[in-house]
Amino acid sequence: MPRLLPNWIYGYLRMTSGTEPPQRFHLWTAITIIGAMLGRKCEVQMGPETFTPNLYCVLIGPPGVRKGTAIKYGIDLLNDASGGAAVMAPDAVTKEQLCKELENTTTRDSDEEFEIVHSSLFVVASELVNFIKENDHERLGYLCQLYDSLARFEYKTKTSGCNFIVNPFLAILGATTPNWIEIAMKQLGVGGGMTSRTIFVYANKKGRHISAAKMQSFDSTLRAKLVTDLAEIRQMVGRFKFTTDANNEYSKWYEGRYLETGIDDSRFASYWERLPGMVIKVSMVVSAAQRDDKIITDEHIRYAIRVFEHIHPTMSQAFGGLGYNPLGAQTEMFRALMREKKEAPRSYIMHVLRNQLSEYDYQRCRNALIAERFCCRNSAMSTEAGEEVLVLLEEQKVVELNVEE
């Protein structure tokens, strides 16, 4: 059946454009949903490596930025597209329950050139704290294993011994706050493990501020087309192939700009090493959003790279103060306040952060931020009492991506 829309992602963003969540939340919700619907029954082989479109995507922001709302819109549409049969685990499950859920999804899919038995599961956790408990080392460990496209996953139960899941596939779409990341992922989250496999999409405020009384219903015609096309995407099976131009585009990026850029935060060193594989996964999604032929073009590669480059400037804010610096959390609160106010006298900063900063802590955080040229003292703006005023140095302005470039 021919597609009703030229690009499912663009159509989804048009449908949700009149809502409050930031556009980037809608964009990554759409990308993650398509990847989950492709499942382990779709893959790309590049040399000895096999890539599947499973993504661990977490929407991050303070309370009230509409993280859960963005997820709800996408999952409501997904449920309609699947007739209520979309496979999603409950938010709160034990390891054994999650493995049972995976086993229950085991199925065989094939096309003319490809056949696979697989267990593909989509976890939706609008409150990630319900799915990953505080410092849950065991769960973080097996989530890392499931991400890596294993041929089989072994788990043990008290009653039935060792069980095996063939070709497991797990996709996660979650939402939480930077404070929870600091608490729950403190042990395994610094620089590696789960954080290196997760796409953190950060926003510090709503995309729009719209009264519920003035919010318009979704375009029913557009929504119906999205439901129909997503159902078609869900039926796709087989190996995606790169065109020659796509191979060249990916190699050009991998051997050039990828090596020359990065996130200016040591906590993302391991994430950066996994980024090339994530680009391949997202390029599959972008191809599936447009066509059924499982061909990845140079245009799809460029778009996949662009959506990552768009979220990287703010990604470190998702971690808050997570790290080994004993004043990391306070420094991030200081940083967030300066981002909001642009300039502030010492008395104001001490008043707002009075429950987090002592006079000594203020001096240490202030000196650290000045040393990295995040802010500076401005003697010309000193108050009448002679107290110092800190001024934010110019940061890169965060703008939403023009998705149809």
Per-residue pLDDT tens over the stretch 130-164: 787 665 667 777 888 889 878 788 777 666 667 78
Q: CATH 1.10.10 residue ranges in the chain?
A: 328-392
Does domain 328-392 fall under CATH 1.20.1300? My reply is no
Fold exhibited by the domain 8-319: Rossmann fold (3.40.50)
The rounded distance, in Å, linking the Cα atoms of 311 and 174 is 16
pTM (2 d.p.):
0.83
DSSP 311: H
Residue with tokens 């992602």: 9
Q: CATH 3.40.50.300 residue ranges in the chain?
A: 8-319
Work out the mean pLDDT of the chain and round it to a whole number.
86
**CA-based nearest residue to 314, from 333, 331, 336:** 336
E strands of 182-233, at which residues? Answer: 198-202
Alpha helices by DSSP H, 39-116 = 67-81, 95-104
The rounded distance, in Å, linking the Cα atoms of 71 and 123 is 12
pLDDT digits (tens, 9 = 90+) for 38-91: 999 999 999 899 999 999 999 998 888 999 999 999 999 999 998 765 667 666
- The sign of the torsion formed by the CA atoms of 142, 146, 150, 156 equals positive
What H or E segment, with its residue span, contains residue 344?
strand 343-345
